[in-house]
Amino acid sequence: MNSRSSPGYFSFILPITTIAITIAIFVVDTLTHFEIAVSSLYGAVVLLAVRFLDARGVLLVAAGCIALAVLSHLLTRHGGLSIIALANLLVGILVIGVTAYLALQNQSAQLALREKAGLLDLTHDTIFVRDMNDVITFWNRAAEELYGWKEEEAIGKISHELMRTSFPAPLEKILEKVARTGRWDGDLVHTTRGGTQVAVASRWSLLKDERGRSIAILETNNDITERKRGEERLQQAQAELAHINRTTTLGELTASIAHEVNQPLAAIVIDGEVCLMLLGRDQPDTLELRDALHRIIGSSKRASGIIHRLRALYKKADPQKVPIDINSLIAEVIPLLQHELRNHGVSLQTEMAPSRLSILGDRIQLQQVLMNLVLNGMEAITSVTDGPRELLIRSSRNGADQVIVAVRDTGIGIDPDNAERLFNPFFTTKPDGTGMGLSICRSIIEVHGGRVWASCNEGQGATFQFSLPLLQGDAPSDSSLKP
């Protein structure tokens, strides 16, 4: 029977069986002359009584069994005192007493366990216990409600097969961590009896016996399906907003982009005319002609690359996280901004990390962040009438596991009190600003597992920086910029 089964079966059959066994033992003990302690069989009666009586009732049954044993001894004396019979009586009484004591101890422990199990049924979290072979041994009421299987249907089944669990990492690695640390927590996806998938925040705790041997795993799950769906909807909304911001920015950079495309196109026209001129000669110089054709091919590839990057920036697509070298990311953004920087009289310098620093991220989104920070710095510089007009983009390694990109300007600087508020939605210090650019930057960086912040320079201007987790495997460098 399971822990929540009705005791109705025992309330009728078991007491009758117990009474019948008691009568049978008394009859055998009284009418036979076996040189054995037949009264010790009353211990079985006590054990049966524990199944349907409370502690007081068990004590009364034990006392009644002792009385029947004594009565049976008196009825079989036949006028003399037998040492063997007396010894058998004492053995029987001892067996009854010890059995009653142990049975009551066990009953007390079982009651405590049932009370604890009842408390586990009160929680809204699903709780189940599985042995070291992943076989379910306990299944609370919340698990029944969430997954659809009753306790008697779930117990004895392999949990991961029953719920078709989807793990964030190989199960072997998760179990290794449980064995090493005694616990694990993470998000899982389970499939209910009806075929619906539910996301849960799962916590595993390793249970050990008195000898320190692993005997079971307690798993507590909290349904986070709606929260996950909300996060997905929020990410979609943020992606929509980021796309709008990106296309707006590119629209403002139309002149700069047109200039960058016109440069290779103009070079193609010039080299094409050179080719025609060379071909018009009686004896064309093939080496000169070859060089001109190579220049045409190079210029075409340059123009194609610019257009390809623009199409990617305009394109509305789901984020795709891939390994990216942070230095190459910076190099891809600079050509799109060079003309705009020259028009505003701003000099752009770079200090790249000497070694490759790779991160895992969406190239387009991170280009958007860098582009926004550079444009913000450029606008801050244009408000300054004297002093240097310089922008510096610096990439570096911070410690063992972070990449930092900093955009340092010599502009008007920022109010230290507003340093954190700059990244809040709709907060802006510009007369015609929307207050969304830096907010979108923060959202993108946080989705990538990093952070973004701003600080005042010791001299003139401000520095905007963001950090990202370093993809493992890159060599360390001496360059670092602490937040």
**Rounded mean pLDDT for each run of 10 residues along the chain, 483 residues in total:** 46 83 88 77 88 87 90 71 79 90 80 61 77 88 90 90 91 90 92 92 87 86 86 70 65 63 78 84 82 85 72 63 91 81 87 90 84 86 83 89 92 76 61 61 85 86 92 50 37
In a domain, 34, yes or no: yes
Q: What is the DSSP letter of 79?
A: T
Say how many domains are in the chain: 4
Q: What is the DSSP letter of 275?
A: H
Cα–Cα distance measured from residue 380 to residue 394, given in angstroms and rounded to the nearest whole number: 18
373 and 412 fall within a common domain: yes
Report pLDDT for 477. 40
Report pLDDT for 475. 43
Q: Hey, what are 137's tokens? A: 């041994």
464 neighbors 454 (Cβ within 8 angstroms) = yes
Domain stop point among 185, 200, 225: 225
284 and 421 fall within a common domain: no
262 and 181 fall within a common domain: no
Q: Name beta bridge partners: 392.
A: 349, 408
In a domain, 3, yes or no: no
Q: Name beta bridge partners: 321.
A: 362
334 and 313 fall within a common domain: no
Q: What is the DSSP letter of 344?
A: T
| Rg of the chain (C-alpha set) | 41
340 and 382 fall within a common domain: yes
Q: What angle do CA 64, 68, 73 make, to 5 degrees?
A: 150
Cα–Cα distance measured from residue 370 to residue 334, given in angstroms and rounded to the nearest whole number: 9
What is the span of the domain harbouring residue 65? 8-120
Confirm whether pTM is higher than 0.85. Answer: no
Cα–Cα distance measured from residue 420 to residue 378, given in angstroms and rounded to the nearest whole number: 20
In a domain, 1, yes or no: no
Report pLDDT for 474. 54
Alpha helices for 123-199 (secondary structure H): 141-147, 151-154, 159-162, 171-181
197 neighbors 191 (Cβ within 8 angstroms) = yes
177 and 249 fall within a common domain: no
375 neighbors 457 (Cβ within 8 angstroms) = no
In a domain, 242, yes or no: yes
253 and 311 fall within a common domain: yes
Domain stop point among 90, 120, 150: 120
What's 173's domain CATH number? 3.30.450.20
In a domain, 313, yes or no: yes
Q: Hey, what are 269's tokens? A: 């026209």
What's 387's domain CATH number? 3.30.565.10
351 and 439 fall within a common domain: yes
375 and 351 fall within a common domain: yes
Report pLDDT for 188. 93
Sign of CA dihedral 87, 88, 93, 97: positive
Domain stop point among 225, 256, 288: 225
Q: What angle do CA 203, 205, 206 make, to 5 degrees?
A: 150
58 and 92 fall within a common domain: yes
The amino acid present at 112, given as its one-letter code, is A
In a domain, 2, yes or no: no
In a domain, 90, yes or no: yes
In a domain, 377, yes or no: yes
29 and 63 fall within a common domain: yes
50 neighbors 103 (Cβ within 8 angstroms) = yes
